[in-house]
């Protein structure tokens, strides 16, 4: 059974020959750099490490690793770590496309958010002054289309599309600040409604550009966000 057939059977609630395996097709199924380096060393694979996301230090998994581990999926991304960087500030600090400042702590691998661009900014100031980044650039979508078309013609692996950082709730509080955002939900709903609506529009435009190019080649489309609660019974 080909990997693509295996994945599609599982999606359709049919029994495949074995459980499908995914690694690195989305930012939720990749690996951070340190363990990824150990995997490459264990497999005797000499390949440079490229980043999917700089803030989380998530690696793009090399094709040789995927083949060695018999992974059933292949990624098509509409975004890269370098696309998220608006300004580099020294070795361990940068500002992303939303104006959020990240800094890498002395201990640990992930970057912390140290400045939220809408912290202390009123709704009126936000509406008048905040500049949203441009949605997905056409050249990025073209590059994704080339990869998607190649994988589609090979007809071997399940093709997973992900624009990366596609959430609505999570990037909204990144921009506003968690305390501000949660307070807004209670005391300043007009602000949070506006911010969430704008984020939804931004992410929708990104995915529209992406899917216009690659949608016909994909088997799975990934959208991720961090929004959860505990139901009391």
Task: Say whether pLDDT at 225 is over 70.
Answer: yes
Tell me how far apart the alpha carbons of residues 199 and 170 are, in angstroms, rounded to a whole number. Answer: 10
What is the phi/psi pair of residue 56, to 5°?
-95, 0
pLDDT in tens, 73-103: 999 998 777 778 889 998 899 999 999 999 9
Nearest to 26 by CA among 145, 214, 147, 162: 162
What is the phi/psi pair of residue 219, to 5°?
-100, -30
Q: Quick check: 171 and 165 in contact, CB under 8 A? A: yes
* The predicted structure's pLDDT at residue 85: 87
pLDDT in tens, 178-220: 999 999 999 999 999 999 999 999 999 989 989 999 999 999 9
* The predicted structure's pLDDT at residue 228: 64
Task: Say whether pLDDT at 156 is over 80.
Answer: yes
Most confident range (mean pLDDT) of 85-94, 116-125, 164-173 is 116-125
pLDDT in tens, 61-72: 999 999 999 999
Q: Quick check: 60 and 52 in contact, CB under 8 A? A: yes
DSSP 8-state secondary structure symbol assigned to residue 111: P
Instruction: Indicate the average pLDDT of the chain.
Output: 92
Three-state DSSP at 141 gives: helix
Predicted TM-score (pTM) of the model is 0.89
Nearest to 183 by CA among 191, 174, 175: 191
Determine whether 52 is exposed, middle or buried from the number of CB atoms within 10 Å of its CB (0-12, 13-18, 19+).
Answer: buried
List the domain boundaries for the chain. 3-221
């Amino acid at each position: 059974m080909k990997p693509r057939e295996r994945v599609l059977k599982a999606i359709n609630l049919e029994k495949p020959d074995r459980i499908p395996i995914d690694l690195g097709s989305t930012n939720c199924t990749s690996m951070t750099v340190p363990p990824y380096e150990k995997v490459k060393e264990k497999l005797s694979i000499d390949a440079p490490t490229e980043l999917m996301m700089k803030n989380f230090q998530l690696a793009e998994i090399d094709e040789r690793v995927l083949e060695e581990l018999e992974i059933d999926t292949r990624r098509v991304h509409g975004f890269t770590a370098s696309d998220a960087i608006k300004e580099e500030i020294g070795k361990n600090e940068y500002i992303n496309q939303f104006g959020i400042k990240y800094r890498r702590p002395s201990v640990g691998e992930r970057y912390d958010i140290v400045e939220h661009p809408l912290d202390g900014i009123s709704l009126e100031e936000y509406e008048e002054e905040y500049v949203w980044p441009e949605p997905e650039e056409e050249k990025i979508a073209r590059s994704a289309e080339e990869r998607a078309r190649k994988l589609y013609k090979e007809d071997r692996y399940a093709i997973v599309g992900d624009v990366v950082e596609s959430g609505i709730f999570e990037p909204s509080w990144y921009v506003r600040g968690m305390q501000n955002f949660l307070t807004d939900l209670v005391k300043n709903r007009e602000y949070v409604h506006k911010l969430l609506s704008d984020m939804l529009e931004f992410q929708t435009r990104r995915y529209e550009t992406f899917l216009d190019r690659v949608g016909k080649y994909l088997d799975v489309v990934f959208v991720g966000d961090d929004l959860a609660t505990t139901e009391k019974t």
